[in-house]
A and B are shown apart, each in its own frame.
Chain A
Amino acid sequence: MDDLQTLYQAIIRQHQKEVRWRGCLLTANASAEGENPKCGDQIEVHAQIAEGTFIALRFEAAGCALLNASASIMCARMEGQTLKSLTQQITVIQNLLNHETTPDLSELGELSALAGAAPYPSRHRCVLLPWETLAKVRNSTSEINKQTG
């Protein structure tokens, strides 16, 4: 059960049930949908973007615990962050899943919880889908070029 406890650790369980980042966003100026063709899981990510920054983020999802937790962690982490920083965050997660980075809680914060999915390649998509959908949101706007810092 050790792997399971790591996979579904407290941060994941907490974010899976967290409602703060769920729902539509009245101030959104960009949205995108993502789907996992393997399982049919769906997510829609809404963003209010200004000055090259994610001002506010929300998501709506029909999917597993990992998808929901990853989306919630993503919104908590990326709100207030620049559009350009998303690419680096996705790389960090990919490295965690591929065992190319040792999880370091002090630096990665809640992101490190996503490393629990590393031993389960069939679940990597569940973790990555929200982030890739946020990248679609980012790519749908011209705001990325307005980044100030």
Chain B
Amino acid sequence: MDNATQATAKASPASFDPVAVRADFPILNESVRNGKPLVYLDSAATAQKPRVVIQRLQDYYARENANIHRGVHFLSEQATEAYESVRSKTAAFMGVADSDEIIFVKGATEGINLVAHGFAQSILKPGDQILLTEMEHHANIVPWQLAAERSGASIKVIPVTDDGDLDLAAFNRLLGPKTRLLAFTHVSNALGSINPAKAMIDQAHRAGVPVLLDGAQSFPHMEVSHRELDWDFAVFSGHKLFGPTGIGVLHGKREWLERFPPYQSGGDMIERVRFEGTTFKSIPGKFEAGTPHIAGVIGLGAAIDYVTQLDRQAAAEYEHRLLELARSGLEQSDGVRIIGNAAQRTGAVSFVIGDTHAHDIGTFLDADGIAIRAGHHCTQPLLARFGLAATARASFSIYNNEDDVQRLLAGIERLKRFF
């Protein structure tokens, strides 16, 4: 595993019991497509939910539902407390000292949009540069293209090597006096490559450049801490961390967030409204207009509780074993080509099979109950760099097991005979 994971491993690990963990996820008992037991290998798209998260959402709606921050009645006070306690919990989970710096958003995508909006409005000037990487998800490309259009800034791109690592020599060259922000993904959703976040952030900071870390694919697989990495902004999505859809987190350093104008406006984000003018709350309220996704936040809190009670180092090692088992089976299979061979990797493996299109691979495996992702994984520039329009991607989580891997590999052998 990478240094980040090792450095923050718990001192006294509890054991990781994959059988018990799997039993926490009721959907894994489901059958699909005419009674085929589900093999879920699409956790990089969205993770399944443990019973505790599902139950927490049900309890909230059944017994606790109320709006927050504005009622004086019992349920509203309880809901407000539950909501705000997740803010502190999330700060602790991310290694953030000041929980006011935690902004609840719809997901990683909205978090990046909020920062891009702030940069376009308050920071970027014509001639400035935003530094991205070739392996970014579209969510960490398109908001910056719009910000660049609005501000007259331009985008520079750190290329990816044949192995699916970032070209760090190129990073060194591209990080220059005009760079106003480095925004990069911690883990590639398409290739599973783990980028050297600490070294890159440190280098950017030495050049006086703030950094946005897209943690959508890293928080679910490893301990990621602001205390260690010192990013200026980080985002992740709740639904990839076993939580509900529609909720995510942006952490931003106070000095940056305070420079940004509101991203959306409405109720709950104001101090005083007059038709002559309005004053806004300080962070985090300034960025949480309207009734937020209260249930989502509360469900996210349950998901964070679930994750943090695991021995995360042991869980990461378990997942890594499954990933490597799958990779070695794919490598040994004639006609299968793995895309990406990064030195450090987690979560996902992308592959192609002869001239069989990824969609046909996905549909064939689906008929066997095996759920993978087929397509460009919202990383068209990355796949274009490898001369591809689409790959098949199997992605792994703590609830998968060796049987899942074997069924994938057996399905691929059947597929090769079929096409």
Residue ranges of A at the interface with B (Cβ–Cβ < 8 Å): 1, 3-4, 7-8, 38-42, 62-67, 120, 123, 126
Contact = CB atoms under 8 A, between A and B. Distances in A.
A134 B277 CA distance: 54
A123 B33 contact: no
A40 B418 CA distance: 24
A23 to B, nearest CB: 17
Residue from B363, B364, B374, B390 with most neighbouring chain A CB atoms (10 Å): B363
Contact of B359 (A3, A42, A66): A66
Contacts of B356: 65
Interface in B378-404: 380, 383, 389-390
Contacts of A3: 33-34, 367
A66 B389 CA distance: 16
A4 B367 CA distance: 7
A1 B33 CA distance: 10
Given A4-B418, A39-B376, A65-B359, 18 more contacts: A3-B34, A8-B360, A38-B375, A39-B359, A41-B359, A42-B389, A63-B357, A63-B359, A64-B358, A64-B359, A65-B356, A65-B360, A65-B419, A66-B359, A120-B366, A123-B359, A123-B363, A126-B359
21 contacts: A4-B363, A4-B367, A8-B360, A8-B418, A38-B375, A39-B358, A39-B359, A39-B375, A39-B376, A39-B389, A39-B390, A40-B376, A40-B390, A41-B359, A42-B389, A64-B357, A65-B356, A65-B419, A67-B357, A120-B363, A123-B359
A44 B389 CA distance: 15
B363 A41 contact: no
Interface residues of B, number: 20
Residue from B33, B356, B374, B389 with most neighbouring chain A CB atoms (10 Å): B389
B390 A4 contact: no
Contact of B364 (A4, A63, A67): A4
Contact of A7 (B363, B374, B380): B363
A40 B375 contact: yes
A39 B359 CA distance: 8
A4 B368 CA distance: 10
B379 to A, nearest CB: 10
A30 to B, nearest CB: 25
B386 to A, nearest CB: 12
A4 B363 CA distance: 8
Contact of B374 (A39, A62, A65): A39
Contacts of A42: 389
Interface string B344-368: 0000000000001111100110110
A39 B360 CA distance: 12
Contact of A41 (B366, B390, B418): B390
Contacts of B366: 120
Nearest to A125: B359
Nearest to A7: B363
A145 to B, nearest CB: 37
A65 B362 CA distance: 12
Given A39-B376, A40-B375, A42-B389, A64 B360 contact: yes
A126 B33 CA distance: 20
B92 to A, nearest CB: 38
Nearest to B379: A40
B358 to A, nearest CB: 7
Contacts of B360: 8, 64-66
A107 to B, nearest CB: 27
Contacts of A7: 363
User: 6 shortest A-B CB distances, which residue pairs?
Assistant: A64-B357, A64-B359, A39-B375, A40-B376, A40-B389, A4-B367
Contacts of B34: 3
A40 B367 contact: no
Contacts of A120: 363, 366
A8 B389 CA distance: 22
B367 A41 contact: no
